């Protein structure tokens, strides 16, 4: 790696995590206690501060080592359960797109299925590159991305990206209709809603504002119901988990929430049952027309977790 970039990566890790986290340990509990804000994000997500424990590194090898410092207390294990593709599942549900719903019902690899549809090939003929492109469009979809935006995150030319987006919407017409409906609703009503009814307002869309601001608000209006519904569902799950654990006579405790992931601590001999209860509660927190699948991992620390 270029030494400037390497220096940036390491200095970020040192200043934000290595230097800052140890002094954040509360001497009375021996733990770091973050603050969660319920009004920290306009979409309904939680935010975390002092310190932020929702941005602990994982992407690079050096960064991941920070996670090894988050360890279970004696006799316990950390259990991490996250929703699989929750935002795309929410899109499939709200858009009622048959193709997307079928893919999730069959628990297919959604990016591979999308690639197969766009490139018109069978699932086993999907190449890495095809899947990478499909992943980029699925990801961009959630953020209201344009064809030009797709060229920023892929090696596609603008003409290829435009063609790609066009084909995508032909193959997933429900998604196209859904997005157009959201744009229309945001412009006419001045707000959009999550599945559970929480609103986010977009004043610029109803006034004469410059195109940049309107375009930005349009993207935000597309993202808000998706990200916001995921946040709603996670919050419901978080309310249900403590009583569910209690009813099952389990002593596990929720420690952290990282948007689509919950980290718990539980006795070693309760791991399997705790995972079962947590996964079940998360999956059924707010049933959609397709299952909400979860993945569970466990380990002695947040940095070294194995699939159950």
Q: Which residues bind DNA (CB under 7 A)?
A: 5, 8-9, 11-13, 15-16, 19-20, 37, 40-43, 45, 47-52, 54-60, 63, 136, 139-140, 143-146, 148-150, 152-153, 211-212, 215-216, 219-220, 223-224, 227, 258-261
Spatial distance between the Cα atoms of 30 and 216, rounded to a whole number of angstroms:
44
- We find the least distance from the C-beta atom of residue 51 to DNA, in angstroms, to be 5
> Nearest-CA neighbor of 274 among 50, 39, 76?
76
- We find the least distance from the C-beta atom of residue 246 to DNA, in angstroms, to be 27
Q: Which C-beta is closer to DNA: that of 32 or that of 103? A: 32
Q: Which C-beta is closer to DNA: that of 126 or that of 141? A: 141
Q: Which C-beta is closer to DNA: that of 2 or that of 249? A: 2
- We find the least distance from the C-beta atom of residue 257 to DNA, in angstroms, to be 9
Q: Which C-beta is closer to DNA: that of 19 or that of 96? A: 19
Q: Which C-beta is closer to DNA: that of 181 or that of 243? A: 181
- We find the least distance from the C-beta atom of residue 97 to DNA, in angstroms, to be 19
Residue 121 CA, chain-centre distance (Å), reads 28
- The two tokens of residue 63 are 């960064």
- We find the least distance from the C-beta atom of residue 250 to DNA, in angstroms, to be 25
- The two tokens of residue 48 are 């975390």
């Amino acid at each position: 790696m270029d030494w400037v970039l390497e220096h940036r990566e390491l200095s970020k890790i040192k200043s934000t995590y290595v230097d800052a986290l140890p002094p954040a340990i509360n001497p009375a509990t021996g733990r770091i206690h973050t603050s969660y804000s319920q009004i920290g994000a306009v979409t309904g997500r939680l935010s975390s501060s002092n310190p932020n424990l929702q941005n602990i590194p994982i992407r690079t090898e050096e960064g991941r080592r920070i996670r090894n410092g988050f360890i279970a207390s004696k006799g316990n294990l950390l259990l991490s359960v996250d929703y699989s593709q929750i935002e795309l599942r929410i899109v499939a549900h709200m858009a009622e797109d048959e193709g997307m719903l079928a893919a999730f019902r069959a628990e297919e690899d959604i990016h591979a299925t999308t690639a197969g549809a766009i490139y018109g090939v069978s699932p086993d003929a999907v190449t890495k590159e095809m899947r990478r492109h499909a992943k980029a469009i699925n990801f961009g979809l959630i953020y209201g991305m344009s064809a030009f935006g797709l060229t920023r995150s892929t090696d596609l030319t603008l003409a290829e990206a435009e063609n790609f987006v066009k084909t995508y919407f032909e193959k997933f017409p429900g998604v196209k209709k859904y997005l157009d409906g959201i744009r229309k609703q945001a412009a006419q009503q001045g707000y959009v809603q999550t599945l559970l009814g929480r609103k986010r307002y977009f004043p610029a869309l109803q006034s004469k504002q410059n195109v940049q601001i309107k375009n930005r608000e349009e993207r935000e209006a597309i993202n808000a119901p998706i990200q916001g519904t995921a946040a709603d569902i996670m919050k419901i799950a978080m309310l249900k988990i403590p009583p569910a654990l209690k009813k099952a006579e389990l002593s596990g405790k929720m420690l952290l929430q990282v948007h689509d992931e919950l980290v718990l601590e539980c006795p070693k001999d309760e791991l399997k049952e705790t995972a079962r209860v947590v996964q079940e509660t998360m999956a059924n927190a707010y049933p959609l027309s397709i299952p909400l699948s979860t993945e569970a991992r466990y380990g002695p620390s947040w940095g070294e977790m194995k699939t159950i």
